[in-house]
Structure 1
Amino acid sequence: MIVRTRWKMPHNPDELWPALCDSTLQLTPRCPVFYLGTPRPSECRLPDGPGEVGAARQCVSEQGVVRQRITTWAPPVRLAFRMEETDLCFDGFVDGLDDVFELKPEGSGTRIIRTTTVSVRSRFAVVLALPLWVGLKSVHRFVFRNWQRMRLT
């Protein structure tokens, strides 16, 4: 399954880039999906220092952590990473989760595109597809809304 979200940000790519690897998100949900159990992100970080291909990245929520490995590091244009492990509820049925952020200058801001590719190992993949898609889309929008309101400069 692929979930892609496009968003226009008022910041230029150089200002926005650091938020991809080091940001704390406002915890007020704007979407009822979070009340239904979707993990609400609270922070993303590089726990071992500077970013580069092969470096660790973590996304933290109130329910646990997604540990990732950076696969593409091209500031301020493209960041990609792959989930290595998680203690979140979806660990039991998700085989893989890959994310790509693409930043493109547009007018006085940036068009950011986030693409999440998920593979589900369960024989219930058809049943899980819609809730998983809605949950991921909600997370994308939640993160983008937070970044849009952040003072990044």
Structure 2
Amino acid sequence: MIVRTRWTVPHPPEVLWPALCDSRLELQPRCPVFYLGTPRPTMCRLPDGEGEVDAARQCVSEQGVVRQRITVWEPPARLAFHMESTDLGFHRYVDQLADLFELTPAGRGTRITRTTTVTVRGLRRAALYPALWVGLKSVHRFVFRNWQKMALSPPRPDAAVSPR
């Protein structure tokens, strides 16, 4: 299954690129799927420091962590990674999960395209795909709304750098 979401923000790719690997997602979700069990992301980070191909990336949610490996690192245009492991409940059903972010200049802003590819195992996979699609689409939009807010907000003087 492929889930693709596009979002346009009024900032250049260079301003948005850092959020792909170091951001805290602080907005409250608008979508009810988060209240029904979809893991709500709270931060993404590079636990080992700088980003590059084969570097680790983590997506942290209220329910656990998705550990990822970077497969494409082309700042400030493309970032791709795949899931290596997770302690989230969906690990029982998901064989593969990969993401590709593409940042394209669009006038005075940037068009962000996120493409998530998921492979589900088991006899009930046909029943799981619709729920996964809705959950992933909600996560995409939630993350993009947070990044848009971060890019529009001036940095707080008391803001600490997130741990790596």
Cα distance in structure 2, aligned partners of 1:132 and 1:48: 30
Whether 2:12 is the aligned partner of 1:6: answer no
Query: Identity of paired residues, percent?
Result: 73
Whether 2:128 is the aligned partner of 1:125: answer no
Unaligned ranges ≥5, structure 2:
155-164
- 1:36-65 alpha-carbon deviations (Å, 9 max, x no partner): 000000000000000000000000000000
Query: Secondary structure of 1:151's match?
Result: helix
User: Does the 8 A contact of 2:8 with 2:112 survive in 1?
Assistant: yes
- 1:9-45 alpha-carbon deviations (Å, 9 max, x no partner): 1110001000000000014111100000000000000
User: Does the 8 A contact of 1:27 with 1:42 survive in 2?
Assistant: no
- 1:102-127 alpha-carbon deviations (Å, 9 max, x no partner): 00000110000000000001211110
How far off its partner does 1:151 sit? 3.4
Please list, as runs of the form range in 1=range in 2, the aligned pairs for 1:84-95 lying within 5 A after superposition. Answer: 84-95=84-95
- Name the amino acid aligned to 1:30: R
Cα distance in structure 1, aligned partners of 2:22 and 2:77: 16
Whether 2:32 is the aligned partner of 1:43: answer no
Cα distance in structure 1, aligned partners of 2:87 and 2:27: 20
- Name the amino acid aligned to 1:129: Y
Query: Secondary structure of 2:151's match?
Result: coil
What corresponds to 2:116 in structure 1?
A: 116
TM-aligned CA distance change 1:4 to 1:40, over 3 Å: same
Query: Secondary structure of 1:126's match?
Result: helix
Q: Which has the larger displacement, 111-120 or 23-32?
A: 23-32
What corresponds to 1:19 in structure 2?
A: 19
Q: Tell me the TM-score normalized by structure 1.
A: 0.98
Q: Tell me the TM-score normalized by structure 2.
A: 0.91
Cα distance in structure 1, aligned partners of 2:68 and 2:151: 26
What corresponds to 1:137 in structure 2?
A: 137
- 1:72-106 alpha-carbon deviations (Å, 9 max, x no partner): 00000000000000000100000000000000000
Cα distance in structure 2, aligned partners of 1:3 and 1:37: 19
Cα distance in structure 1, aligned partners of 2:62 and 2:129: 23
Whether 2:66 is the aligned partner of 1:66: answer yes
Cα distance in structure 2, aligned partners of 1:85 and 1:9: 31
What corresponds to 1:97 in structure 2?
A: 97
Cα distance in structure 2, aligned partners of 1:20 and 1:44: 7
What corresponds to 2:76 in structure 1?
A: 76
- Name the amino acid aligned to 1:21: C
Moved over 2 A (4+): none
